Amino acid sequence: MTRVLPIDTSKATAAPGARVGVLLVNLGTPDTADAAGVRVYLKEFLSDRRVIEDQGLVWQFVLNGIILRKRPRTKALDYQKIWNTEKNESPLKTITRSQADKLAAALADRTHVVVDWAMRYGNPSIKSGIDALIAQGCDRILVVPLYPQYSASTSATVCDEVFRVLARLRAQPTLRVTPPYYEDEAYIEALAASIEASLASLPFKPELIVASFHGMPKSYVEHGDPYQGHCVATTEALRRRLGMDASKLLLTFQSRFGNDEWLQPYTDATMKRLAQDGVRRIAVVTPGFAADCLETLEEIAQENAEIFRHNGGEAFAAIPCLNDSEPGMDVIRTLVLRELQGWI
């Protein structure tokens, strides 16, 4: 018969932790707006198998022999057009930091909750964010990928990196990840309110609105990525909320590169076609971005605006992302509080 010995708790200590961490994660940004900084960023970004699935010898030659030799110089010029010179950082970094600060302030009455932020590519890294939360006693962490629409090349690669970090830890924190929120009521309402407020402030009335989402190779969707369906669902929900049909709120995809077919219709081709068809006044909203960045501030507000005007358009408005605005923070706070149920 096995004897069960009493446990001596006189020298036992309380387990460390008992705090809850929240880590906001966005895509990433170069540390500097020069060719060297952009090269480091692009190398990390384009070496991710979630972003470029075929990382074989041909791609390695193209990446290292062509793209990383030429593209950093041109993209650095684009970053310089939008760079936050006061803080010497990209707007994406400035806004994401502010989102984390405002979320922390909103949760300040919950003293056991700690908020931090990170970038999937570049700095601050996901590893540094997780390390900082653990160092502050967090034994539970909620990761918040700031992508309303899920795709393997955004949301999934955040989880990949989080899991890689945790795989090196002996004492792992308990993990939760917020789900995509592409048709969440709070998100759609915030988008609609932002669009309505922006339209009311314009000196002209747009004939239609274009909802531009980041592009993706068509083959990724054919292999099972739900991203396109999520973008369609967001656009349809916005149409219902704003009382617009498909002729007044268009869905397009931007930011493609390479020779493969990407999701269509393409934003730049749509800008050209609309202007040539006689549309003179438009507004563009970018619902897939939680914070303004190169793709919204330069590609949409500058490049696509020029395409539209060059082909006969007259008035072009780029509607800001939700960013750290009150409606934008309502969305993030709603998501976080919902997923923290049972922890706080």
Binding-site positions read: 214, 295
Residue 227: how many other CB atoms lie within 10 Å = 26
| Main-chain dihedrals φ then ψ at residue 256, nearest 5 degrees | -90, 160
Q: Is the dihedral of CA 230, 330, 267, 72 positive or negative?
A: negative
Total number of residues shown for the chain: 344
Query: Considering only CA atoms, which of 28, 288, 19 is closest in space to residue 151?
Result: 288
Measured between alpha carbons, how far is 244 from 328 in angstroms, rounded to an integer?
22
Q: Which residue has the tokens 């930011």?
A: 255
The answer to whether 82 and 313 are in contact (CB under 8 A) is: no
The continuous run of DSSP H or E covering 339 comes out as helix 326-339
CB 225 within 8 A of CB 139: no
Kindly report the backbone phi and psi dihedral angles of residue 88, in degrees, each rounded to the nearest multiple of 5, phi listed first: 55, 55
CA proximity to 117, closest of 130, 108, 136, 105 = 130
Binding-site sequence positions for Fe(2+): 214, 295
**Euclidean distance between the first and final Cα of the chain, in Å?**
44
